[in-house]
Each structure stands twice: as C-alpha cells, then as structure tokens.
Amino acid sequence: MSEVEGQAITPRGVELGGTAPDSFDAVAMARELLRIARTAPLATLDPASGFPLSTLVNVATDVDGTPLLLLSKLALHTRNLDADPRCSILCFALGKGDPMANSKRVSVAGRALRTDDSRARRRFLARHPKSKLYIDFPDFSLFRLEVSGLHPNGGFARAAEIATGDVLLDLTGCDALIEAEEGAVAHMNEDHAEALALYATRLLGEPEGRWRATGLDPEGLDLVCGDAAARLVFPERVTSPGALRAALVALAQKARAAA
C-alpha cells in the first residue's frame, strides 16, 4: 500500500499557482460534477506491469454521491480491479475556449467493489436506461467506488484539497426520504413533466427538451434530457417526503415566475 495515512491523494503540502479566489467553492463544484457525470475516464492498475490503464465507463451515483459503475469482466479494467481495486475516475464539464482554463473537473480516487444493492442498481438504470439490455448478463457487475480522496480543479489557480466527508452526503435522519425516493421520482416523471422542464430551463438555464428525473437526495434533484444532465440544488436540505414535496412546489412556483 502506497497511500499516506489512508489517503488516496497525497496532499501537496505547498500551494502552487496562487490561491483560489474566494468565489471558488470546491465542495459545491465537486458535488455537482459527481451528480451530472454520465461517463468518465476510469484509471486502473495493470496487475502485471503496474502501469495505469485509462478507459471510458458509464457513471451514476448512489444517494450519498458515491459513484456507481457497471463493468463487464471481459474488459481489461475489470480484470485490473479484481487484482487491485484501487482506481480513479475523472468527472468533468467542458467550458468554452481553453479547456485547461475554463473547464471544471474532479478526480475521484478509491476502491471499486462489487455490489448487489437493489437501490444502486435502480439508480444506475435510471441514469442509463439502455443498460437494461445487458445488466443481467453473467459477465456484468455493478461496482461502488468507495471514495478515499478527491482533487477538484476549476481551472487556473482553482485547485483545492477537500475532505471526502465534505462532498459525500451524511444520510443520518434521511431514511424516510430514501424510502420514498423511487416513488417520488416516478411521480415527477409521470405527472409533473412540465415542472421538470421548468426547473431545467428557467432555473438552470438548460435548453428546452423532454427533461426527466433520475434520482433525488437530501441536497437536490438529478435531471437528464438525451445526453444532457443537470443538477437542481434544493434551497435547503430535505430529509422527509413532506419537506421534499414543499421544496419541489416552491421551486416550481419560482420557475413559473421567472422571466
């Protein structure tokens, strides 16, 4: 094990390239990127050579923000993970112009471990419905990336060191909300498609389209439309179905009142 005191990303110890401006919220950016990522480069370690291998995988998140991956054992990256579960993914959003200056990204390092959790499966399929065609093939397994370190970067002079616990959500007291999530998401998609579109277009500035919800959690609602993804952050943390309903109604009213 080469990690320092259990950390997957060794702290730099000295700031390089200046200090990030006060307006740069590394935690908020990391949370957003985890939720809107639909694909990400995955780096694993070759068991024979030790060299890193980078591939591309579909990504979803569990309720607390933990990344979820659906992988085939026929792929080299799965062979690598079976030998050494340490890996990393890069979640990013490209900006206009120079991608080094105007893009947001967060490196997420940890250990990818197989899971048969039904909620994780449901959330992954909601994010990637075409995966229903092959998720039950015997060579496919769902993995949770148990996060050990994060490195956010919002462009030049916008790198930071943040703790895993600042990004992944504490779900204490949220059992009722988590239990109601599946039904709430289905209800929004079936009966409140207009509200979902208003959230996306009027509150988040996204283009018109058939927006649908894929998941929710105490901090926000995940939306997709074709290949586009967006994250609606609630004004305050919600922990119960009643609080969720009130927040969604208030946000719909705000969206309808927006010019």
Strands (E), 6-103: 39-45, 52-61, 67-72, 86-93
> pLDDT-derived band of residue 17, with 50, 70 and 90 as boundaries?
low
pLDDT of 14 higher than 70: no
Q: Residues 108, 34: contact at Cβ < 8 Å?
A: yes
- Alpha-carbon gap, residue 246 to 162, rounded angstroms: 32
pLDDT of residue 6: 58
Region(s) of the chain under CATH 2.30.110.10: 26-167
Residues of the chain with CATH 3.20.180.10: 175-257
Residue 93 reports pLDDT greater than 90: no
Q: What is the CATH number assigned to the segment(s) 175-257?
A: 3.20.180.10
The per-residue pLDDT for 142 is 98
Query: How many CA atoms lie less than 13 Å away from 25 in the CB half-sphere?
Result: 8
CATH entry, 26-167, from 3.30.300.30, 2.30.110.10, 3.30.56.10, 3.40.50.12780: 2.30.110.10
